[in-house]
Amino acid sequence: MKFKKAFLLLVFTITTVLTGCEPLTVLNPKGPQAARQAHDILLSIGIMSFIVLVVFAIFIYMLIKYRASNQSEDYEPPHIEGNKWVELICVGIPVLIVAYLSVVSVQSNYIVESEVEAYEEKEPLVIYASSSNWKWHFSYPEQNIETVNYLYLPTDRPLEFKLYSFGPITSFWIPQLGGQKYAMADMVTTLHLAASEPGEMIGKNANFSGKGTAENKFNVTAMSQKEFDEWVKEVKDTAKPLTEKKFTELLKPGHLGQMTFKGTHLGFSPPPAHKHSETEEQTKEHKEHTDSQTEKDMSDHQNHE
């Protein structure tokens, strides 16, 4: 009776705790890269669950078949030096499982690290995602706008994030779009993602980088290309220009809400040049393009006024 009550209490406790947990966003993908990773996670869980069930089934069978009460009083267990089939199974099956999961992992790694194959015929949207204590700065060089702590993304188009940091190492992660990648101070790393359906998501810093890490998050909104273009136009018509003085203030440690600017910091504070980043010539060309685009936008804004 006591065992039954304890078992029911355990089931009730587990059920109550699990109902209070947030849903696993990594298993609710909104892009092809995340879908591949979710598939691998479920595959691993399935294989491990099968192994656990088989082991428990064998364990229960052995307990019942070879229990003391099921043997005669004069039973004498045989002396066995070894069994090649048992040894082969115990060693061979784990080796096969590890080999299979290794092949799957390597294939998936190449897929998620490469450009999104489903949209390879489309021009990628390049976004420079830089972190500072404890906020995220998103520069859209093609559109010549910049946001703080939020991202607007077009769906059905490849996204190419250029990651770096103005402070400690951080980890850029949008669970529903793909895996994390580190942003560092002396180099630029590239992360390929894509959003296959519209909706709102949460991005975060998955690496501990000080006391403000827990709130180092950003909102992500995926929308159609038409809606994205309309948002860009609205920003250029209404947002204030991002100056070097203002950007320096933004880099100071602390938390901020969402902010939007016309122009980017890439012109006066370019990303680090490194062998994993742009070449110096590419950086110079990008700076010239950004400066000319900023002058054009400011002129259009003055004419509009």
Distance CA 167, CA 170 (A): 8
* Residue 58 resides in a domain: yes
Same domain, 102 and 126: no
Lowest pLDDT segment from 107-111, 268-272, 281-285: 281-285
Number of domains the chain contains: 2
User: Is 191 among the domain residues?
Assistant: yes
Task: Flag whether 17 is in a domain.
Answer: no
Mark out the alpha helices in the chain (DSSP H runs). 2-19, 32-65, 84-113, 225-238, 244-250, 280-304
Beta-carbon contacts of 189 under 8 Å, excluding residues fewer than 6 positions away, are 162, 163, 164, 181, 182, 183, 276
Q: What number is the average pLDDT over the span 65-85?
A: 79
Whether residues 96 and 165 fall in one domain: no
Residue 116: partners with Cβ closer than 8 Å, 6 or more residues away = 31, 32, 33, 158, 159, 192, 193, 194
**Cβ–Cβ contacts within 10 Å for residue 160, how many?**
17
Around Cβ 61, how many Cβ atoms within 10 Å? 10
pLDDT in tens, 246-255: 999 999 999 9
Distance in angstroms (rounded) separating the CA atoms of residues 247 and 240: 12
Same domain flag for 137 and 276: yes
Together in a domain, 279 and 132: yes
Residues 60 and 163 both lie in one domain: no
Clarify whether residues 166 and 101 are in a common domain. no
Residues 156-202 have pLDDT tens digits of 999 999 999 998 999 999 999 999 999 999 899 999 999 999 999 99
Indicate which CATH number applies to the domain containing 162: 2.60.40.420
pLDDT at 258 over 70: yes
Percentage of the chain beyond pLDDT 90 is 66
Give the mean model confidence (pLDDT) for residues 47-57.
Answer: 94
Strands 125-132 and 158-165, how do they pair? parallel
How is the chain split among helix, strand and coil, in percent rounded to 5? 45, 20, 35
**276 and 142 both lie in a single domain:** yes
Task: List the end-to-end C-alpha distance of the chain, in Å, as a whole number.
Answer: 82
Taking CA atoms, 160 is separated from 29, 163, 193, 266, in Å, by 18, 10, 7, 16
DSSP label at 115? P
Q: Is there a domain that residue 225 lies in?
A: yes
Tokens describing residue 269:
């504070």
What range does the domain containing 214 cover?
Answer: 121-285+300-304
Write the DSSP assignment of 168-190 as a string of letters. S-EEEE-TTT---EEE-SS--EE
Q: Does 295 map to a domain?
A: no
Q: Is residue 291 part of a domain?
A: no
- One domain for residues 49 and 126: no
110 lies in the same domain as 130: no
Q: Do 138 and 266 reside in the same domain of the chain?
A: yes
Query: What is the reported pLDDT for 283?
Result: 47
In a domain, 248, yes or no: yes
* 43 & 149 share domain: no
Q: Which of 229, 238, 294, 224 is nearest to 264 (CA)?
A: 294
Angle, helices 32-65 vs 84-113, to 10°: value is: 170
pLDDT given for residue 274 in this prediction? 67
According to the model, what pLDDT value does residue 42 have?
A: 95
Residues 126 and 145 in one domain: yes
- What Rg value do the Cα atoms of the chain yield, rounded? 27
> 94 and 54 in contact (C-beta within 8 Å)?
no
- Residue at 19 is within a domain: no
The average confidence (pLDDT) of the chain is 86
